[in-house]
Amino acid sequence: MSVEQCVGEWWNDNLMWDWDDKLHEECGVFGIYAPGEDVARLTFFGLYALQHRGQESAGIATSDGEHLSIRTRVGLVNQAFTEDDLKLLPGHMAVGHARYSTQGSSVARNAGPMVTQSSDGPIAVAHNGNLTNAMNLREELEEEGERFVTTTDSEILTRLIAMTPGETMAVKLRRAMARMVGAYSLCILATDRILAVRDPLGVRPLCLGKLAGQWVVASESCALMTIGAEFVREVQPGEIIEIDEHGLQSHMPLLPHRHAMCLFELIYFARPDSVIHGQRLHLVRQRMGEQLAREQPVDADIVVGLPDSAIPAAIGYARASGLPYTEALIKNRYIGRTFIQPDQRLREVGVSLKFNALPEVLEGKRVVLVDDTIVRGTTSKPIVNMLRQAGATEVHMRVHAPPMMWPCYLGVDLARRDELIAARMSVPDIGRFIGADSIGYLTLEGLIEAINVPGAGFCTGCLTGSYPVPVQLGMDKLVLERV
C-alpha cells in the first residue's frame, strides 16, 4: 500500500472531529489548453483558488498531445503537490480536481481526476456533482464487462464515457449524457483535446475564460482571476465545450431543458468574488441580507455576521435595518480540518477553537447574528452562548436562507434527514434549542427575489423535498462501498 493510500485509509477510519456545523462542500474542477504555458502550475493555482469546494484530495492530469501524466494525493492542494510533482506533469493541456467526498470515502484511490482507456486513447475526468442513478449504471457496466477500482460515481461516469460508441469524443460524451441522471460539471482531458460539460439542469457551476488567447474552464470565476485569466461567460446547462489545436467549439443540446441550479451555490458554496448568473455573489448575498431585514426585523443595537460566509448578508441586513454592522467574532482561518484530535478539555470549549468573541464590542449590546444556514444546530448553540458570555444582553439569530429540511443528492455532503434540526423542530423550537432570544429565516420567495434572475430555475430539494430528478431517499455517500 502506498503512503497516500495509508493516509487515505487513516483519514477514512478516523474522521476528524468537526465542530463546524456547516454544509460540506462538493468539488472544484479546472481545465486549461494553453500551448507555451506551464499548465501544471496554472492548474495548481486554479485548484488553490477552488480549495473551498473540496479539501480532502487533489489531482492534476496533463497531456503533451501523445501521453497523459497524472498525480493525485490525499490532502489540501498545497500539500498534494511539490515542485518535483509539477515537473513530472509535462504538456500543454491539463485538468485538475479538488475533492470533497460526496460519493465514496476519502481514500487515495477515490482521488480525482479519474483515468481510464477509451477507444480514442486514455482520458482523465474531473467531476463535480453526483449521479443519482450511479448504482444502476455501475450494475449495467459490470454486466458489460467493466471492473471498478474505486467507490465513486466519478469512475462510473468516466468509464461510461470511455466505452460509449461514437466517432468523436464529443459524440461519445453526448450519448453518455443521455444515460447520466443527476448533477455533473466535468473537465475531460484526452491526449489531444479538452472537453468541458455541464449537466442539462445546470446544477453545479462551470465557466469559461481566456488567458493570453488560450482557453480555461473552471468551476468558478474566482479561479480565472487567480491565474490572470479573463472571464468570458458561464458554460450553459447541457453545453459541451471542446478545445483543441483548432480552437474552441461549442456543442449545444438539441432540445431545451428546464434548469435547476443549486440555490446554495449562491447562498454559501461559491466564493463571494465569483460570478454566477452574471452577478457578483458578494452583492447577491448583500441583497439576501437586505431582504432578510425586511422580512425579519428586530429591535437591536448591532449586526454581526458569522465569519466568513455570512458577512455579505450581515452587511446587507445592517444597511436595510439602519443598524450598525460590526465585527465581533474573529475566525481562526487555520484551524480547518486537522488530523490531531482535541482532548476532552478542548472538546468542551469546542467552538472557541474556531471563533473568538470581542467583549469590548459586545458588552451591553443587543445583537443580530446573521448566518447562512443552521444544519444541526451544534455550532449555533455554542456561538450564541459565546456572545452572551462576552457581554451581549440579547442575541437574535437571523438566517439568510430558508430552513434546510431535506438531504442533498446532487453533489453536497449534507446530513441525513433525521440529523437536520429543521426537519425535527419548528422554527421557534430551533430558537429555543440554540438559546437565541428570537430567530428568523429568509423565505424561499424572498430568496428568489433577492437573487433577481427572472426566469431562472433553481433546485430547491434540500428546502422543499422536491428534487429536479428522481432520487433514492435512502441513498448515502457510501452506498457504492456496500456493493
* Catalytic, out of 27, 187, 207, 222: 27
- Whole-number Å distance between alpha carbons of 267 and 450: 11
Query: What dihedral angle (degrees, nearest 10) is formed by the CA atoms of 83, 224, 194, 101?
Result: 70
Which amino acid does the sequence have at 400? H
Q: Has 27 been annotated as catalytic?
A: yes
Closest by Cα among 325, 316, 311 to 293? 316
Give the type of residue at 109: R
Q: Which residues contact 442 (CB under 8 A, 6 or more apart)?
A: 288, 291, 292, 295, 296, 399, 400, 401, 402, 450
Helix/strand/coil (H/E/C) assignment for every residue in 322-361? CCCECCCEEECCCCCCCCCCCCHHHHHHHHHHCEEECHHH
Contacts for 276 with CB less than 8 Å, ≥ 6 apart:
205, 220, 234, 261, 265, 266, 270, 284
Contact 115, 211 (CB under 8 A): no
Cis peptide before 359 (omega within 30 of 0): no
DSSP characters over 24-59: B--EEEEEEE-TTS-HHHHHHHHHHHTGGG--SEEE
Encoded amino acid at 5, one letter: Q
H or E element: which one contains 141? Answer: helix 134-143
Q: In whole angstroms, how far apart are CA 33 and each of 28, 77, 154, 195? A: 18, 21, 22, 10
Do the Cβ atoms of 286 and 313 come closer than 8 Å? Answer: yes
Cell (9 digits) for 411: 453533489
The number of beta carbons lying within 10 Å of the beta carbon of residue 253 is 14
DSSP E strand boundaries for 135-213 = 182-189, 194-198, 207-211
Separation between Cα atoms, residue 96 and residue 194, nearest integer Å: 12
Q: How far apart are CA 282 and CA 275, in angstroms?
A: 9
**What are the distances in angstroms from CA 38 to CA 44, 83, 92, 160, 196?**
10, 12, 7, 31, 20
Cell digits of residue 149: 477500482
Residues marked active site are found at: 27
